[in-house]
Structure 1
Amino acid sequence: MDLFASPARHQPLAARMRPASLDEYAGQQHLLGQGRPLRVALEQGALHSMIFWGPPGVGKTTLAKLLATLADAHFVTISAVLAGVKDIRLAVDQARQHAAQNGRQTILFVDEVHRFNKAQQDAFLPFVEDGTLLFIGATTENPSFELNNALLSRARVYVLKSLDEQALEALLDRALTDVERGLGAHRLDITPQARSVLIGAADGDARRVLNLLEIAADLVADGGTIDIELVGDLLNDNRRRFDKGGEAFYDQMSALHKSVRGSDPDASLYWFVRMIDGGCDPLYIARRVVRMASEDIGNADPRALTLCLSAWDVQERLGSPEGELAIAQALVYLACAPKSNAVYKGFKMARQDVASQPSLEPPLHLRNAPTKLMKELGYGQAYRYAHDEPEAYAAGEDYFPEEMEPRRYYRPVNRGLELKIGQKLDYLRGLDAASTSKRRQEKR
């Protein structure tokens, strides 16, 4: 072994293969293609503060370094995982020194900027505002939720996408043939099947495909072939992209919920399996499935709620895979069941009224009177016991506060059991109208 070999030789393949120019950069043609906004800004030398938002391994850090190189700017990088306000101040001091000594602009790149709290994000603002530095933040989380509005107003957000198969193919080819930085000196071959599986397992992540390729290369001799059996052994515990606390989590959960609401059992199963494959806790999904039963099926099929609770119970009692099958059964049932959000809408309307009105007291006739004083004050007087009324219904009775006009929150749909519920409520309202009319005539 040559102890004095260049340290770069011992860097991971993904680090060695970082592109040195825009021509080597893989993907993001919607930003860097001819005439696209970021490409135009580069060509015109009109760099500005920006946020790169995208999943892991799509080239956020690499693109920031390329921008600094093309702009001949001093590049400073900090990670929000480890850094604090002290590091921000140090970067500002460096920026001022470079500006004073050689007139060079400084680009401050903040990796995982969403991990900075609001106060730390505010620390950038005056230096971005006065041009001391250009700010580039990288995040896997939605900037709308994770970054200050003040910071967002001073930086343009660019969305980076997962790399497509064509971009990953080109990256693999370059890594296999590049003698200086890649694996070209090893003269490796890869079968079409192994290539296809490797690219699929990367799930749009450039770093991941290069890491997998490097591991595979270490397991074959120079001049050898990476075949499907070798790749299969590497991917025994492969997981699709699924950040348990990030954007992918909420996107996939949203897709699952909307598939159920849209009465598509097949898509519902697909998104459920995607989340399980990515490592999501089945109990979390079970809890959300119970929510779907009330929000989207409601009283159109009340059995749905019972089935979902049973599926949750099976998951808790038996674990996987039996519990996952029970959750899948519940999801298919929900997707195929008649839909109603009448309870959900009514609940939201009632909450809005409660939030916008003062604390109205229950009318006296609806209050209990367990003491003599309460009875003397009129508690419970004139209350009509429904079971003693014709058809066990006190027609014309008002159960709302006296200061509030009765409202209709629950409006059953004409599907499933709610069709009959709606007919029943219409009948009872007819009795109310008749009772009210009769009382008015008696008063005359």
Structure 2
Amino acid sequence: MGADASETPLADRMRPGGLDGFAGQVHLLAPGKPLRQAIDTGRLHSMIFWGPPGTGKTTLARLVAARSGAHFINLSAVLAGVKDIREAVTEARARRSVEDRATVLFIDEVHRFNKGQQDAFLPHVEDGTLTFIGATTENPSFELNNALLSRARVYVLKPLSLDDLTAVLRRALADPVHGLGARDLALSAEGAGLLAEAADGDARRALNLLELAANLSPGGVIGAETVAAVMAGALRRFDKGGDLFHDQISALHKSIRGSAPDAALYWLARMIDGGCDPLYIARRLVRMASEDIGNADPRALALAVDAWDTQERLGSPEGELALAQAAVYLACAAKSNAVYLAWNAALADARRGGTAPVPPHLRNAPTRLMKALGHGRAYRYAHDEPGGYAAGERYFPEELGERRYYEPTDRGLEIRIREKLERLRALDQAARDAAK
């Protein structure tokens, strides 16, 4: 049957049967690398493949099993449960008993298994009934049990390069059995480049897009116009809550903290283009304005809040432009984390200090009884003091003593704030020395 007549997707038909047709992951599969040695020698060990979609995790698992002659059981954590794991264990025991053959249990999206499900197959990995291979797009450190991680080696797969993806596309076009070779199609250099860029490091996505483009070009050349038609509405990878999400917001935050407006715009664009909720970004910009700029430039917080308000009121695209304006301003503003550090220090004292009583002179005294108890007595009203400052007055609980949390930097408005606080602290010291 011709490749074009098959109902199996092109991406599945083109799954390589050996390392010769495998694209990318040179850091794992170059001669002498541990994973390459394991595959070449047929040595089985439990492993976890961690990487973005379309980078070859399932294919590598099949290659490992095939090279070692092991029976291959494929489960998806999206659909499978403990019952399926038990059935896999029973099947593995039968294979070992009858055929003296090892079994590889491959679990795709293994991060979706809860602790109980992971524990269900762990004893059978320990006793050698199963060799476990898991595939995940999420950080195994956060998603998998420590007991499982300690028994499996983690291999990190990278997104495919443009050259790797172009090679995958060319191979699919040339293959007359599994690919599109029987259809006498050609792919222009510009079309190949656009497909590789749209695939965003994902071989499966590249082949899916190629198949769509081929269906729009029954004969002749697949050019840029056809590729543009199948790419319409395509989004970059963005997992809205997983590692990629957190990595990108981290990159945006650190670009702003590092006073790099162009990088901040790039990461903002990546997140918006990938489908991130703009209101989430707006909330994070407000956080950055307080955490990394603070009183060095108080206007940053107001601008961030205004951008959030604009996004809520107007939506896209006006709101996104306001977020971009705020991100650029925040990146260019003077930086200070003095308030952030001061708040954390004050919060730590409040949490470990117990319920220290408010000093009597600072207490409110709205009733005769409270006045009789001395509430508010000897309180110095700052507006009646020289210069509007009650030099030497104490405001902390007696048990805590005098504390200093806020240390303004020598950047932006905090230069002036620091100078004022130094003057006030000098007045306090002089007043306390005089009272001795």
TM score, norm. by length of structure 1: 0.95
Choose from 73, 86, 89 the match for 1:89.
86
Conservation of the 8 A alpha-carbon contact between 2:40 and 2:67: no
Choose from 232, 235, 240 the match for 2:231.
235
Take 1:301 and 1:6, find their aligned partners in 2: how far apart are those partners?
Answer: 63
Conservation of the 8 A alpha-carbon contact between 2:42 and 2:64: no
Q: Which moved more, 1:333-342 or 1:90-99?
A: 90-99
Choose from 198, 201, 204 the match for 2:198.
201
Conservation of the 8 A alpha-carbon contact between 1:61 and 1:111: yes
Q: Does 1:376 align with 2:363?
A: no
Q: Which moved more, 1:136-145 or 1:361-370?
A: 361-370
Shift of residue 121, structure 1, vs aligned partner: 1.8
The amino acid that maps onto 2:47 is M
Choose from 285, 302, 307 the match for 1:306.
302
Q: C-alpha offsets along residues 167-219 of structure 1, whole Å, 9 cap, x if unaligned?
A: 11211111001111000111111111111111110000000000000011111
Choose from 279, 282, 307 the match for 1:286.
282
Q: Does 1:173 align with 2:170?
A: yes
Take 2:88 and 2:362, find their aligned partners in 1: how far apart are those partners?
Answer: 68
Task: Structure 1: give runs of 5+ residues left out of the alignment.
Answer: none
Take 2:368 and 2:128, find their aligned partners in 1: how far apart are those partners?
Answer: 77
Conservation of the 8 A alpha-carbon contact between 2:43 and 2:68: no
Shift of residue 6, structure 1, vs aligned partner: 9.7
Choose from 349, 353, 367 the match for 1:353.
349
The amino acid that maps onto 1:55 is P
Take 1:345 and 1:8, find their aligned partners in 2: how far apart are those partners?
Answer: 65
Take 2:4 and 2:93, find their aligned partners in 1: how far apart are those partners?
Answer: 31
Partner residue, 1:392:
388
Q: Which moved more, 1:118-127 or 1:11-20?
A: 118-127
The amino acid that maps onto 1:432 is D
Task: Please give the residue correspondences for 1:25-104 in structure 2 after superposition, counting only pairs within 5 Å.
Answer: 25-104=22-101
Task: Please give the residue correspondences for 1:240-319 in structure 2 after superposition, counting only pairs within 5 Å.
Answer: 240-319=236-315
The amino acid that maps onto 1:181 is H
Take 1:6 and 1:162, find their aligned partners in 2: how far apart are those partners?
Answer: 27
SS in 1 for 2:31: coil
SS in 1 for 2:413: helix
Q: Which moved more, 1:115-124 or 1:76-85?
A: 115-124
Q: C-alpha offsets along residues 47-105 of structure 1, whole Å, 9 cap, x if unaligned?
A: 21111110111111111111110111111111111111111111111111111111111
The amino acid that maps onto 2:93 is R
Change (3 A) 1:125 1:8: farther
Partner residue, 1:339:
335
Q: Which moved more, 1:98-107 or 1:43-52?
A: 43-52
Q: Does 1:366 align with 2:334?
A: no
Partner residue, 2:151:
154
SS in 1 for 2:134: strand
SS in 1 for 2:227: helix
Q: Which moved more, 1:73-82 or 1:398-407?
A: 398-407
Take 1:173 and 1:324, find their aligned partners in 2: how far apart are those partners?
Answer: 38
Partner residue, 2:431:
435
Q: C-alpha offsets along residues 9-57 of structure 1, whole Å, 9 cap, x if unaligned?
A: 2200000000101111111111111111111223344321111110111
Q: C-alpha offsets along residues 93-119 of structure 1, whole Å, 9 cap, x if unaligned?
A: 111111111111111111111111222
SS in 1 for 2:44: coil
Change (3 A) 1:208 1:388: same
TM score, norm. by length of structure 2: 0.97
Q: Which moved more, 1:337-346 or 1:384-393?
A: 384-393
Shift of residue 140, structure 1, vs aligned partner: 0.7
The amino acid that maps onto 2:352 is S
Shift of residue 358, structure 1, vs aligned partner: 2.4
Provide the aligned length of Structure 1 versus Structure 2.
436
Shift of residue 390, structure 1, vs aligned partner: 1.7
Shift of residue 8, structure 1, vs aligned partner: 8.9
Choose from 111, 116, 136 the match for 1:114.
111
Shift of residue 364, structure 1, vs aligned partner: 2.2
Conservation of the 8 A alpha-carbon contact between 2:50 and 2:136: yes
SS in 2 for 1:123: helix
Q: How well do the aligned residues superpose, as a CA RMSD in angstroms?
A: 1.6
Change (3 A) 1:400 1:225: same
Take 1:131 and 1:163, find their aligned partners in 2: how far apart are those partners?
Answer: 34
Q: Which moved more, 1:188-197 or 1:82-91?
A: 82-91
Take 1:53 and 1:410, find their aligned partners in 2: how far apart are those partners?
Answer: 43
Q: C-alpha offsets along residues 271-310 of structure 1, whole Å, 9 cap, x if unaligned?
A: 1111111111111111111111101110001011111111
Conservation of the 8 A alpha-carbon contact between 1:263 and 1:337: yes
Conservation of the 8 A alpha-carbon contact between 1:8 and 1:16: no
Shift of residue 373, structure 1, vs aligned partner: 3.3
Take 2:168 and 2:397, find their aligned partners in 1: how far apart are those partners?
Answer: 69
Take 1:71 and 1:386, find their aligned partners in 2: how far apart are those partners?
Answer: 83
SS in 2 for 1:10: coil
Take 2:351 and 2:176, find their aligned partners in 1: how far apart are those partners?
Answer: 68
SS in 2 for 1:326: helix
Task: Structure 2: give runs of 5+ residues left out of the alignment.
Answer: none
Where has structure 1 moved over 6 Å in runs of 4 or more? 5-8
The amino acid that maps onto 1:241 is R
Partner residue, 1:402:
398
Q: Which moved more, 1:273-282 or 1:385-394?
A: 385-394
